[in-house]
A and B are shown apart, each in its own frame.
Chain A
Amino acid sequence: MKGNSMADAAVLTGEHFMTGDVACAEGAIAAGCRFFAGYPITPATEVAEHTAARLPDVGGTYIQMEDEIAAMAAVLGGSWAGVKSMTATSGPGFSLMMENIGLGLCTETPCVIVNVQRGGPSTGLPTLGAQGDMMQARWGSHGPYEIIALAPMSPQEIFYQTIEAFNLSEIYRLPVLVMTDEIVGHMSERVVIPDAKKIKTIFRKKPSGRREGFKPFLAGPDGIAPMPVAGEGYRIHITGLTHDEQGYPAMTAEAHAAMVSRITGKIRNSLDAITRTEAFMLDDAEIVIVSYGCSARTALAAVEDARRAGIKAGMLRLITVWPFPEKRIRELAARVRGFVTVEINLGQVHLEVERCAGGKAPAVLVGHAGGTIISPEEVLQAVREAFAHHG
């Protein structure tokens, strides 16, 4: 009976009024996360606090590590011990986690890292929101890699996207990022948690058969190798060095190309399955606002304002910022008058929009360094200008 009561306790079915940070923690627990290695940092601390209080009730464990480097290392260790593991942080901590996120990518370790973004660089604006870590999410760890990063726009969505992040990490055997922000993390809204049976959770593909001579990185055509965990008798060797299918170090350019292309291929060959966007009034749109996270809320208001002003505007909301919906932007570029990217930074996703628009449609940015949300008026002004210049 203990098992059942734990399962019931794991999913708080019902209607709640909760912050994004708390909804994130609840999403993780509903997804089956049972190990959280944390380090306090504004504005992500509440994810750790809530998880610390909740995990023991469901058979999980929270530990507060000595820094974010240790937290990320412990998360990888937890995952290799066979437990769904996560951490949550903000800019400075995210910077410290980068090396071990790379180890997670190289060793193909499923786990979830939440970044509740605040104003940077450096200590920046601890209590105020920004979206300035989007390129760091993409390229912050050294070397070539692909990454999955989700960007929730509300507490309700962060609940679901945290579950989705775990599922994607378990399917593709990679660390997955939830790139939220202080605004979504600290806002309180209605969050509906469904019945546990309605929540789909996925666990990594496990190996079966002979343990002797087992190759932990021998993958099928999808590039995803079944993942043994420590203590099951496979006697695996796992290293952050470039390695072969056996997991043994292989110091050649050929081995490196084979390993990197297989790992990046897991995402590159599944772009349609992973990439998620949401279209809002896009069918007849002439001006496309591209946005994500808290800024998508502003953009949504601006689309409505523009429509009332007689401008055919629409929004492409990025649910996955990485992988970036290149194909979608290229298709739109062939038929629209222009793009307006709305994000709280000085132009990061904007650069991707501009690249994919490929000169076929102009792209402008509405953004600032951080500390406050962007107002719908600023976006509407940019939409008007884009419409007038290219009308």
Chain B
Amino acid sequence: MVDMDIDRIDQIIDKHQGEASSLIQVLLEIQSENHWLPREALQRISERLEVPLTRIQHVATFYKAFSLVPKGKHEIHICMGTACHVRGATRVLDTVQGLTGIKPGESDLDLKFSLETVNCLGCCALGPVMEIDGKTHGKMAAGETADVLKSYE
């Protein structure tokens, strides 16, 4: 994964008029483009917005949307919302953990998959739901997850 260059980060900061109160919005935009927040990016934001790096770290670790480590090529989101939970989401999660060898919040060594649990994807009629790279796989049974994962190379 190629890290963002400083110019692009500056552009994003300029878009938000370089205001300290827009810290979260700036971080969100970098996260969405780069999929993670490299240290150099945080340092640049700290200089430009005049916000101490410690506070940026506080914010970056507080919110779930941010990652301080690189993400895998395919991002797996398993819904652990209540509706999915009562329909067996835990079993789906267990199976995916077994197949990929990673736990929620982790990426595998060759950066193929990242695994995250999310709290509701808002398509409860399809539960349990697994989302990979934004594509929804509904009504998952533990046995089917292997087939779905195999289709992502």
Do A and B belong to a common assembly?
Answer: no
Q: B-contacting residues of A (Cβ < 8 Å)?
A: none
